[in-house]
Structure 1
Amino acid sequence: MTFFPDLKKFWKKPGGLLSGGQKQMLSIARAYVNDNELLLIDEPSKGLAPIVVEKVMESIQQMKDKTTIILVEQNFMMASTIGDSFYIIDDGRTVSNGSMNLLREDEEMRRKYLGIA
């Protein structure tokens, strides 16, 4: 509940009755509570309202202090805020990797592989 205080209101509610954002928070929290050394999070922002994305980003950022996180995310703003390093996979092959600062600064790489400048 520390990372997702919004879920406190829905403590007794069945998971299937939660909203999409609440389900996303619940699934991340359930994986994190197991005290894993590694946590794979696949597209946590997909289909979420911007305000929920902000809350999820903040929580994942805090989780990084105790757990290694592999984040698969197409939302560059979210990935670049959370990530320390990156891997770009194109057609099943790793075409680039390095520090997230490198990707933030390389407009050509972002344009070529991510479609953003």
Structure 2
Amino acid sequence: MASGSLGRNNSASKGFDFATDDILCSMARSSMFPAPAYSPLEESFNQDMAATVEKTMKKYADNLMRFLEGISSHLLQLELYCYNLDKSIGEIRFDLVRDHGEADSKLKSLEKHLQEASSIF
């Protein structure tokens, strides 16, 4: 029994720790233990971090610009191919209309000769 009462006394005699006890709210903790001001090391770290982020963003922006320039080049080639295709279709259409006109005039001439030949007989 003596050991039991000793154990209780030891736990009761234990000191009260403000930093780790859940009784204090976070405001009391922050006022009792204020955050330290930024040190030159932290400012240097922040500057290094900003420089690294800026360098990475520049790398990605450059890659994106190269990709967009490639797309632009391909679009110009496609535009040229479409122009040439449209030009060729126009020429084919013109040739077909001309050939159709020539064939139509030849058929009319043949029909006229047939009518003349049938009128003779």
Select the structure that is richer in helix: 2
**TM-score under structure 1 normalisation?**
0.16
**TM-score under structure 2 normalisation?**
0.16
Select the structure that is richer in strand: 1
Larger Rg: 2
Higher relative contact order (CA 8 A, sep 6+): 1
